[in-house]
Amino acid sequence: MGMDTDHVVVTGLGATTPLGGDVASTWSALLAGRSGIGPIEEEWAAGLPVRIAGQLAVEPTAVLDRVQARRMDRCEQVALVAAREAWADAGRPAVDPERLAVVIGTGTGGALTMLAQDDVLEASGVRRVSPHTVPMLMANGPAAWVSIELGARGGAHTPVSACASGAEAIAMGLDLIRLGRADVVVAGGAEACIGALPLAGFAQAKAHSTRNDEPQRASRPFDVDRDGFVIGEGAAVVVLERAEFAAARSARAHATLAGAGVTSDAFHITAAHPEGQVRAMRLALASAGLPPEAVGHVHAHATSTPKGDLVEAQSIGEAVGTHPAVTATKSMTGHLFGAAGSMGALAAILAVRDGVIPATQNVDTLDPEIKLDVVTGSPRRASLSAALTNSFGFGGHNASLVFTPAP
């Protein structure tokens, strides 16, 4: 089966984010320009240089079975919440379990469980450590829980590529369908690592914004005064289907996943190299069979770091051009790390479907070195024939996805 005949459509969307407990509330908040970033009120944050985050709008324990939730790390909980919504949105496809695969990426997996259980071990000894510790901390836990929930036997995969994980998961889903290994793939990313150690580490690396007194204005992609990202948590999941399979069951599609490009910089553990980003975007366009001129919208990775935003802006200009309308929703959600790529995909899919691009918040003064058409102020109406979304992660991981309207 060749790429041209093997179209892949998005039939289900699910999310739980700092803006809302589902897709509808998250999308309406993005279009309204609302921020999900606020102060961390817990005691453990009191002495930290960073005391702000994009915390979940709805606790996963409010919707999950209490006993089940206690046996899951927070990143597993959010993955299951988002996957359930996406599966229901897709109409719960009747698919051969061996032709159903799951791909859920994460950056840190069950880091909070590991840290908490280490505290228990130190304070109270081995007998107090939870017997569920290992399945709660393992990075493949989110994919495993989702596969169990849905009865998926076609593989449960976990790309771990820092902030590119969620996008790489969706790219892998595209591959699985194009290679004829699955008819339906549940793909996305999940992250929940808002804790003292991650925040202290990011603060020491000078990567995180320290605007503790202005949480909602702290994440400011492309702004001349940006000073780092803001940590966020959540999950976004999509249901991908072979177009013929979806058509045979008369499924409604939100959009088409037209192409994906995945590259690595082989350059530096934290610094990005523009060449790898440019190649990812070009590979995604080639995979989609589209010229750069077809792209009307780019959902930028744009985390609000001084260097990162500039490198990406230059890469977009080189690979796609300066004509697309560009937005950066991390200005409202914060940086969801392993879920950032799938959150970006969600925003791009909805922009294509609904013909509207959310505005980037907090761009008081566009960095004069950034030569892009950044959407600011209010959302922009646009009839899009293609949208591209970028995700770049520590380690030199790059993933770009291209979405086009539903067939």
How far is residue 50's CA from residue 192's CA, in Å, rounded to a whole number? 17
Q: How confident is the model at residue 298 (pLDDT cuts 50, 70, 90)?
A: very high
| Residues 14-35: tens digit of each pLDDT | 999 999 999 999 999 999 999 9
- Give the model's pLDDT for residue 345: 98
Backbone angles phi, psi at 134, to 5 degrees: -65, -50
| Residues 164-187: tens digit of each pLDDT | 999 999 999 999 999 999 999 999
Please give the average per-residue pLDDT across 396-401, as a whole number.
Answer: 98
- Whether 8-249 and 258-404 share one fold: the answer is yes
The yes-or-no verdict on residue 5 having pLDDT over 70 is no
pLDDT top residue among 2 and 258: 258
Q: How confident is the model at residue 320 (pLDDT cuts 50, 70, 90)?
A: very high
Domain edges within the chain: 8-249, 258-404
- Give the model's pLDDT for residue 121: 98
How far is residue 269's CA from residue 159's CA, in Å, rounded to a whole number? 17
Percent of the chain topping pLDDT 90: 99
The yes-or-no verdict on residue 2 having pLDDT over 80 is no
Q: How confident is the model at residue 3 (pLDDT cuts 50, 70, 90)?
A: very low
Please give the average per-residue pLDDT across 143-164, as a whole number.
Answer: 98
Integer-rounded Cα radius of gyration of the chain: 20
| Residues 186-207: tens digit of each pLDDT | 999 999 999 999 999 999 999 9
Please give the average per-residue pLDDT across 112-117, as a whole number.
Answer: 97
Contacts for 406 with CB less than 8 Å, ≥ 6 apart: 9, 10, 252, 253, 254, 255, 256, 353
Average pLDDT, rounded, for the chain: 97
The yes-or-no verdict on residue 267 having pLDDT over 80 is yes
Instruction: Please report, for residues 81, 107, 150, 186, 245, the alpha-carbon distance to residue 154 in angstroms, rounded to integers and kept in the order given.
Output: 21, 23, 11, 11, 16
DSSP designation for 217 = G
- Give the model's pLDDT for residue 6: 74
List residues with catalytic annotation. 163, 301, 335
Please give the average per-residue pLDDT across 76-88, as a whole number.
Answer: 98
Using alpha carbons only, give the angle 261, 264, 270 rounded to the nearest 5 degrees.
125
CATH code of the domain made up of 8-249: 3.40.47.10
Tally of CB atoms within 10 A around 55 = 21
Q: Per the CATH hierarchy, to which homologous superfamily does domain 258-404 belong? A: Thiolase/Chalcone synthase (3.40.47.10)
How many residues in total does the chain contain? 407
Please give the average per-residue pLDDT across 242-253, as a whole number.
Answer: 98
